Structure formats: structure tokens, C-alpha cells
């Protein structure tokens, strides 16, 4: 079977898009097919370093690679020789290197002592800060590479280049999703992203806490929201179906068996920035269609006052009061919890107003809430600091 038509090799190669171990397995299979002692795949992108791939198998293990980078990479004539080839074409070091290059210290002090004799390979990409190279290293135990072997590698190279291209795109999307996930996880509201079947593509940390509490709202095995009452389930299903059919969604309250204030639930079409991201491996774009936001009015935890103290330049006492007011506290409840008189609480309020240039308690609270929300800290910490 031709190397470029081997389904197992191609399967491993394309699985390497999201699993580097599969790239390594593909290299091992390729090296064995050509009776080589080692193989290497290099993909360097100056514009996206997180997508770089440097893999090698066989004799070219981690220790050898480290020594190569440290002592010999700068004098290896092979990369420059391969880079001169037209992208997508293959050759060998025996055919490309001049007689003078064959006498270099790299070959005699590093390459040949490893038990290697010749490299077959080619450049997959060399432009716009990106360089990709694949190479197979034979030992003296087999004959020099022949023309038909060069042809086989050339037929395989587009598959390798395509797999690396997909890997770059996949890693960039992973990075985007990681950033979005981190941002959503810091929100005080519960966030649920649903696919067209109603199953969860993403559940943020607050939503998991709400579901685990089981006080009026939980999630089933597929991550679908399940209100406690049958009537609420019907109303929520109706709003979700409306969004699935292109509607604008809506809001509804969900009562809680504990007697706490009802959850306020918003269901809306997912914003484009969330729709375009693959929230799970191999999730296609557009699979997220609905956004569910759950607000728990009983969550009035006070954020770390140090944020307000440093950010607004407030004294410690004034910052503690501002954080409490931002969490829907009032002067009386604050003074009772802190064990201070109402006069002391009012003193802290005056200091907070003076320090922020605000003219009323309402303006102070708005300023504090905006800062805490911008920092994603409005739900951090515990009551009382």
C-alpha cells in the first residue's frame, strides 16, 4: 500500500490536530515504513507560538533534541538546504549538500555518531514567519533513498501541511474559548449555553453551584436546565423553543422550595461571539444557539474591600462600607454586623464620598458596583469580607 494511502497513518495524522501524541504516532509509523531510525516534524509560527510543534521519534529523543538545539542547530546545513526547495517538494541531504557541507562539524560530531546517514524530507511551509519541515533519518543499514520514496513523501506532505494548518486553527480557537470560559466563570450570574437539542455546550461555575444546590433549578445529565415545578418547566421549555425557532426569548421567575427569593431567568439567542466558538472538542461553529442567564437575588456577598481601597484610594473603613453597600447592604445592617455605631458607619460614608468625589450614597454604590463588575469580582469573597 502506498504510504499516502495508508488509512491508519492518515487517521493518526489528522487526530494529531487535537492530540500531539497522535502526531508522534504518525511519525513513528512513517519512520517504520521507510525503515528509518528516526523522524522529525517541525512547525514554527512566529505569529502564534502556542501552535508550534516540535516532535521527533526514534533515535532523535528528548536528550538528543536538547543537545542538538544547544550545540548544533546553528551549524546544521540541512534546514537551509530544505528551505531552498520549492514548498511541497522533497529531496535528501545526500543530493542537496555540497562536498564542503558534508565535511561540517555537525555531520561528523553529531549526526553520524548517532548512527544516522541521510535525511529525506521537505519544507511544508516557509513564509510570513512560519516554517514547517518534515524529515526522516536513515541509518547506514539501509540503501540511500530512491526517487519513488521521494514521490511518496511528496504525496503525503499536503496531508501533513493540512493537519498542521487545522491544528493552528484549533489551538487558536481553544485559546479563544479558554478566555471566554474564564470570563464567564467569573460572573456572579449563572450562565448556560445550549445547543439546538437543548443540551449544554457550556456551564459556568456559578450555574454549577446553583444546580448543585437543587433549590428550584437543577441540570439533567445532558446539562439541560430543569426547574423544580412542572409549570415552570413548561414555561421554560416554551421560551427555549421560541429561541430555537428564531424568537427573541424572554424572562421568567423560578420559585424556590427553600422560600428564598425566586431566581430570575433570562433566555435569549446566543451572541455571535459565543456562537462562533467550539465549546467542546470538535463542536462545530453554530452549535450554540441559546444563552440562559440565572440571577440569584439572594446572592448579596460582599466583595473584597481591598479592591475598592486600592482602586478608589479609600481608607480601610470607608472601603469596607462601600463594598457592603455595593452588596445591597445598608448603614444599619452594616453597623450591626461590624459591631460599630451608626455614627461610625456614617463617618465612613462621608470619607467614602469625599474620597471618590461622589455626592450621594447612590452615586457611591454605582461607582463601586461598576468597578467590581469590570474586575469580575462582584461575587468574590464572603459576607463580612
Q: Would you tell me how many other CB atoms lie within 10 Å of the CB of residue 198? A: 17
What is the CATH number for 355? 1.10.10
| Shared domain check, 347 and 291 | no
State the pLDDT at residue 302.
54
> Which of 295, 325, 344 is the C-terminal boundary of a domain?
295
Average pLDDT over residues 78-89: 89
Residue 15's pLDDT band (cuts 50, 70, 90): confident
Indicate which CATH number applies to the domain containing 228: 3.30.450.20
DSSP letters spanning 113-178:
GGT--EEEEEEEEEETTEEEEEEEEE-TTSPPP-HHHHHHHHHHHHHHHHHHHHHHHHHHHHHHHH
Averaged pLDDT for residues 94-117: 92
Range of the domain at 264: 187-295
| Distance in angstroms between the alpha carbons of the first and the last residue of the chain | 69
State the residue for C-alpha cell 454604590: 365
pLDDT tens string 188-223: 789 998 888 888 888 998 899 999 999 999 999 989
167 and 125 in a common domain? yes
Whichever domain contains 105, its CATH number is: 3.30.450.80
Total Cβ atoms within 10 A of residue 1? 9
- Same domain, yes or no: 67 and 133: yes
pLDDT at 215: 92
Q: Mean pLDDT of all residues in the chain? A: 84
- Residues 294 and 278: their CA atoms lie apart, in Å, by 22
pLDDT in tens, 46-72: 776 766 768 899 999 889 989 998 999
The answer as to whether 300 is a domain residue is no
Q: How many independent structural domains does the chain possess?
A: 3
Domain identity same for 310 and 334: yes
Is 109 or 17 the better-scoring residue by pLDDT?
Answer: 109
Both 43 and 137 in one domain: the answer is: yes
Burial 255-293 (b: 16+ CB within 10 A, else e): bbeeeeebbebebbbbeeebbebbbeeebeeebbbbbbb
192 shares a domain with 276: yes
**Mean pLDDT, range 273-286, rounded to an integer:** 53
Query: What does the pLDDT read at residue 285?
Result: 47
Phi-psi region of 194 (alpha: psi -120 to 50; beta: other; left: phi over 0): beta
- Mean of pLDDT values over 251-267: 89
For residue 163, pLDDT beyond 80: yes
Kindly state whether residues 152 and 92 are assigned to the same domain.
yes
Residues 96 and 227 grouped into a single domain = no
Q: Is the pLDDT of residue 273 over 70?
A: no
Based on the fold, state whether residues 131 and 221 are members of the same structural domain.
Answer: no
In the chain, beta strands by DSSP E: 38-45, 53-58, 90-92, 118-127, 130-138, 190-194, 200-203, 217-219, 225-227, 250-254, 263-269, 290-295
pLDDT digits (tens, 9 = 90+) for 316-371: 999 999 988 887 778 988 888 788 899 999 999 999 999 999 989 989 888 888 88
Complete DSSP assignment for 37-74: SEEEEEEEETT-GGG-EEEEEETS-HHHHHHIIIIIGG
Amino acid at each position: 500500500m502506498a504510504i499516502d494511502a495508508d488509512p491508519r497513518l492518515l487517521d493518526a495524522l489528522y487526530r494529531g490536530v487535537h492530540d500531539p501524541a497522535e502526531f508522534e504516532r504518525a511519525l513513528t509509523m512513517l519512520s517504520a515504513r521507510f525503515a528509518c531510525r528516526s523522524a522529525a516534524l517541525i512547525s514554527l509560527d512566529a505569529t502564534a507560538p502556542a501552535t508550534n510543534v516540535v516532535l521527533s521519534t526514534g533515535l532523535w529523543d528528548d536528550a538528543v533534541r536538547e543537545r542538538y538545539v544547544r550545540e548544533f542547530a546553528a551549524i546544521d546545513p540541512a534546514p537551509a538546504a530544505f528551505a531552498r526547495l520549492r514548498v511541497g517538494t522533497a529531496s535528501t541531504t545526500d543530493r542537496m549538500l555540497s562536498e564542503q557541507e558534508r565535511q561540517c562539524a555537525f555531520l561528523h560530531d553529531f549526526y553520524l555518531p548517532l548512527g544516522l546517514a541521510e535525511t529525506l524530507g521537505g519544507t511544508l511551509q516557509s513564509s510570513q514567519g512560519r516554517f514547517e519541515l518534515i524529515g526522516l533519518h536513515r541509518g547506514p543499514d539501509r540503501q540511500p533513498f530512491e526517487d519513488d520514496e521521494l514521490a511518496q513523501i511528496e504525496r503525503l506532505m499536503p496531508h501533513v501541511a493540512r493537519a498542521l494548518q487545522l491544528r493552528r486553527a484549533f489551538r487558536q480557537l481553544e485559546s479563544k474559548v479558554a478566555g471566554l470560559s474564564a470570563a464567564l466563570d467569573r460572573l456572579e450570574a449563572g450562565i448556560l449555553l445550549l445547543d439546538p437539542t437543548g443540551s449544554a455546550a457550556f456551564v459556568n461555575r456559578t450555574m454549577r453551584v446553583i444546580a448543585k444546590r437543587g433549590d428550584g433549578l437543577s441540570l439533567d445529565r445532558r446539562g439541560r436546565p430543569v426547574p423544580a415545578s412542572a409549570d415552570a418547566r413548561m414555561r421554560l421549555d416554551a421560551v427555549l423553543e421560541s429561541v430555537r425557532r428564531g424568537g427573541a426569548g424572554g424572562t421568567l421567575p423560578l420559585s424556590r422550595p427553600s422560600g428564598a427569593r425566586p431566581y430570575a431567568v433570562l433566555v435569549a439567542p446566543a451572541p455571535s461571539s459565543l456562537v462562533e466558538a467550539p465549546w467542546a472538542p470538535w463542536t462545530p461553529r453554530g452549535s450554540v444557539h441559546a444563552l440562559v442567564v440565572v440571577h440569584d437575588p439572594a446572592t448579596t456577598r460582599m466583595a473584597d474591600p481591598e479592591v475598592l481601597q486600592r482602586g478608589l484610594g479609600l481608607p480601610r473603613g470607608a472601603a469596607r462600607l462601600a463594598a457592603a453597600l455595593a452588596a445591597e447592604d445598608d448603614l444599619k445592617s452594616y453597623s450591626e454586623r461590624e459591631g460599630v455605631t451608626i455614627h461610625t458607619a456614617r463617618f465612613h460614608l462621608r470619607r467614602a464620598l469625599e474620597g471618590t468625589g461622589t455626592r450621594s450614597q447612590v452615586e457611591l454604590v454605582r461607582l463601586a458596583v461598576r468597578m467590581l463588575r469590570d474586575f469580575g469580582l462582584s461575587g468574590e469573597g464572603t459576607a463580612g469580607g
